[in-house]
Amino acid sequence: MHFSYWEYKQWFQHVDYTVVGSGIVGLSTALAIKEAQPSASILILEKGNLPEGASTKNAGFACFGSVSELLMDLDTHSEEELIELVKRRYNGINALRAMFGDDAIGFKQLGGHEVFLKKDKDLFERCKDKIAYLNTLFHEVFVQEAFSLTPNKFGFSGIEDHYITHSLEGQLDTGKLMQALLKKAHKSGIKIINGLKVLGFDAIENQVSVQLENFDFKTKKLLITNNGFAKQLTEQAVEPARAQVLITKPIKNLQIKGTFHLDAGYYYFRNIDNRILLGGGRNLDFEGESTTQLGNTEQIISKLKMLLHQTILSNTPFEVDYTWSGIMGVGPRKKPIIKELTKNVFCGVRLGGMGIAIGAAVGQDLANKVLRT
């Protein structure tokens, strides 16, 4: 691509901060810097026509961790580390709600439920026995007993008679959230260019040379926030993880409301616009799903359809409308990577599938780190 003099002068000259990725983290980082430095020139580069990772492709869960997930995390994290992670998620959702209001982002606090298949009875019993322990552990975060047992009121088939419910969890409209962030960014004077992929960079003295296809430009600081695609630029401990999703056509008199995790969290579903949105199945092919290529596979989509037929909507006629996928950034630890990589180059990546809950907080933390240097 060859830019004109006018394009170069308007978009690529005298850039203070360049952000790679226009998802939740990238936009939140740029907004936090702009608030602290209103006169700063900020440019966001996004390789896709829309954010290409997970920010507009996720399931829209405002969740903080299911019981089985939290117990699993205790195998690799201390209690103090886990409390801090959950606190970050909870505060992150509340920050989004405070920033935009519930209506603007489609937030509904309908509760989150972990559903256990009959084959997972042992896991259910273990999780049930730990409810009191987790309520005590996270009381300082939620200031109430957040976890409780709920009867199978939505009539799912082949599951244990009770869900484990988190009363403070909810759902939001991912599209509305991103529109709100984009609108605020444009209003703040932040420049966003879509369709430009950053291929590399060189830190040179007090600036960074950013390499695009057939074009380089200079910026004072470079901030990498492309999460599942970050390894290509950062060499950090973050791996891509594709999440495949389907959505049904509208279902008349759909009674299911809330967000749900199933099979130790490998599957998740929710209601939206009288439809069921269902995703997951990465555990069927971890190696194949560790990719930055968007797309769907017959193996996983077939499994999702089977869950709809056998468990979620076993007594309800439905049709699948369409499918899609998104790319998450995961790693051996749940804590996000927020660091300076080299002089004037920073990253805020590895959100571990919790981008909605912690994306804005990671953006704020990254901005704070950048502004301190």
pLDDT of residue 80 exceeding 90:
yes
Query: Is there a single domain that holds both residue 156 and residue 20?
Result: no
The 3-state DSSP class for residue 18 equals strand
pLDDT of residue 239 exceeding 70:
yes
pLDDT of residue 2 exceeding 80:
no
Query: Is there a single domain that holds both residue 321 and residue 193?
Result: no
Residues 6+ apart with CB under 8 A from 239: 231, 290, 329, 330, 331
Read off the pLDDT band of 56 (50, 70, 90). Answer: confident
Task: Give me the mean pLDDT over the 156-166 stretch.
Answer: 97
- Higher-pLDDT residue of 210, 356: 210
Task: Give me the mean pLDDT over the 128-146 stretch.
Answer: 97
Query: Is there a single domain that holds both residue 112 and residue 185?
Result: no
| pLDDT for the residue numbered 243 | 95
Task: Give me the mean pLDDT over the 122-128 stretch.
Answer: 97
pLDDT digits (tens, 9 = 90+) for 321-345: 999 999 999 988 888 999 999 999 9
The pairing of beta strand 215-224 with beta strand 207-212: antiparallel
Q: Give the number of domains in the chain.
A: 2
Task: Evaluate whether residue 66 is within a structural domain.
Answer: no
Read off the pLDDT band of 202 (50, 70, 90). Answer: very high
pLDDT of residue 1 exceeding 70:
no
Query: Is there a single domain that holds both residue 143 and residue 286?
Result: yes
CB 267, CB 359: distance < 8 Å: no
pLDDT of residue 242 exceeding 90:
yes
Task: Evaluate whether residue 155 is within a structural domain.
Answer: yes
The pTM assigned to this predicted structure is: 0.93
Query: Is there a single domain that holds both residue 223 and residue 276?
Result: no
| pLDDT for the residue numbered 129 | 98
Task: Evaluate whether residue 87 is within a structural domain.
Answer: no
CATH code of the domain in which 311 resides: 3.30.9.10
| pLDDT for the residue numbered 318 | 97
CATH code of the domain in which 186 resides: 3.50.50.60
Query: Is there a single domain that holds both residue 337 and residue 225?
Result: yes
pLDDT of residue 305 exceeding 90:
yes
Residues 6+ apart with CB under 8 A from 152: 159, 160, 161, 162, 163
The pairing of beta strand 337-342 with beta strand 345-349: antiparallel
Task: Evaluate whether residue 84 is within a structural domain.
Answer: no
Query: Is there a single domain that holds both residue 246 and residue 321?
Result: yes
Read off the pLDDT band of 264 (50, 70, 90). Answer: confident
d(CA 122, CA 170): 27
Task: Give me the mean pLDDT over the 90-104 stretch.
Answer: 94
Task: Give me the mean pLDDT over the 160-182 stretch.
Answer: 96
Task: Evaluate whether residue 255 is within a structural domain.
Answer: yes
Read off the pLDDT band of 352 (50, 70, 90). Answer: confident
pLDDT of residue 14 exceeding 70:
yes
Percent of the chain with pLDDT over 90: 88
The 3-state DSSP class for residue 315 equals coil
The tally of CA atoms less than 13 A away on the side-chain side of residue 347 is 21
State the average pLDDT for the chain: 95
Which residue range(s) make up the domain with 300? 108-170+239-330
Query: Is there a single domain that holds both residue 258 and residue 315?
Result: yes
